[in-house]
């Protein structure tokens, strides 16, 4: 149920972001989700792509430093309190969220949110038992 994410530090945010997205597009790698955070003087890009190994290879060939981490992609009800309900489940068992970012979905019935959570296995078990849908890599890439 874990999904692999790429993390890249960008020395020049705009130029590097254009180069990375162009390189991925030119290699037929689809970006499924991304987040760019500003931490002067650098940017920190997190991306979920449909071919992680190929993306790492392409970016490394162009001298980008790429790290990987595991995340959870959760289906959250698209209504007031949807995110709060998931956060409460995690809080109740003492699990910390390091960061999260949204992932658009067409249906409008639910949203997808990417969570970087301490103790991923424990979080997956807790969330699944609470009825929260945790997507697999295959499901994310099929969206």
Sign, CA torsion 36/37/43/48: negative
Structure confidence by residue, pLDDT tens digits, 131-140: 999 999 999 9
The CATH homologous superfamily of the domain defined by 2-69: VC0802-like (3.30.2130.10)
Q: Is the pTM of this model over 0.85?
A: yes
- Largest distance between two CA atoms of the chain: 45
Structural domain boundaries in the chain: 2-69, 71-142
Q: How confident is the model at residue 110 (pLDDT cuts 50, 70, 90)?
A: confident
Class of domain 71-142: alpha beta
Whole-number Å distance between alpha carbons of 49 and 124? 21
Percent of the chain with pLDDT over 70: 95
Burial class (CB in 10 A: 0-12, 13-18, 19+), 94: exposed
* pLDDT over 70 (residue 106): no
In the 8-state DSSP scheme, what is residue 11? S
């Amino acid at each position: 149920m874990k999904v692999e994410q790429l993390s890249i530090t960008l020395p020049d945010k705009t130029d590097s972001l254009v180069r990375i997205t162009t390189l991925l597009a030119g290699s037929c790698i689809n970006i499924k989700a991304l987040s760019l955070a500003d931490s002067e003087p650098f940017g920190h890009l997190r991306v979920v792509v449909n071919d992680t190994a190929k993306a790492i290879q392409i970016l490394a060939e162009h001298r980008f430093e790429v790290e990987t981490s595991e995340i959870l992609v959760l289906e959250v009800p698209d209504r007031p309190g949807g995110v709060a309900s998931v956060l409460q489940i995690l809080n109740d068992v003492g699990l910390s969220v390091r960061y999260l970012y949204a992932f658009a979905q067409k249906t409008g019935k639910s949203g997808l949110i990417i969570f970087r959570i301490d103790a991923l296995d424990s979080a997956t078990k807790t969330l699944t038992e609470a009825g929260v849908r945790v997507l697999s890599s295959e499901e994310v890439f099929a969206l």
